């Protein structure tokens, strides 16, 4: 089943985000290589592809897991959590309808 993982950035966490990004992307690449990643990306803090120092307000990941507990465990192990990037993470089931 698909699950949405939504992380909300802590205020002022852009330096931690940039430092932890390679490890974060490595885990997403693993999901992609397993065919389990539908989409992933950050929410820019301003209306720009590259928000620069304005940074990001969070991230969205939609990926396939065996169950909610597995999705939550994967989210809990994200390098952004350890680095203090995310102030909050929500994991919930998702039913893909389109396309």
- Say if pTM beats, i.e. exceeds, 0.75: yes
Q: pLDDT-based confidence at 74, cuts 50/70/90?
A: very high
Q: State the CB neighbour count (10 A cutoff) for residue 84.
A: 15
At residue 59, the pLDDT reads 98
Which residues pair with residue 40 across a beta bridge?
A: 61
Strand order in the sheet with 37-44: 37-44, 56-64, 2-9, 86-94
Q: Which tokens belong to 37?
A: 């990643």
**HEC readout, 6-63:** EEEECCCCHHHHHHHHHHHHHHHHHHHHCCCEEEEEEEECCCCCCCHHHCEEEEEEEE
For residues 31-35, average pLDDT: 98
Q: pLDDT, tens digit, for every residue of 4-20?
A: 999 999 999 999 999 99
- How far is the C-alpha of 88 from the C-alpha of 23, rounded, in Å? 19
Domains of the chain: 9-48+55-94 (3.30.70.1060)
């Amino acid at each position: 089943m698909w699950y949405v993982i939504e992380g909300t950035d802590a205020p002022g966490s852009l330096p931690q985000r940039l430092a932890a990004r390679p490890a974060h992307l490595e885990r997403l690449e693993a999901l992609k290589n397993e065919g389990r990643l539908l989409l992933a990306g950050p929410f820019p803090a301003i209306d720009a592809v590259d928000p620069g120092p304005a940074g990001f307000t969070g991230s969205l990941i939609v990926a396939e897991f065996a169950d909610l507990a597995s999705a939550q465990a994967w989210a809990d192990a994200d390098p952004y959590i350890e680095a203090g990037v995310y102030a909050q993470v929500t994991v919930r089931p998702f039913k893909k309808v389109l396309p």
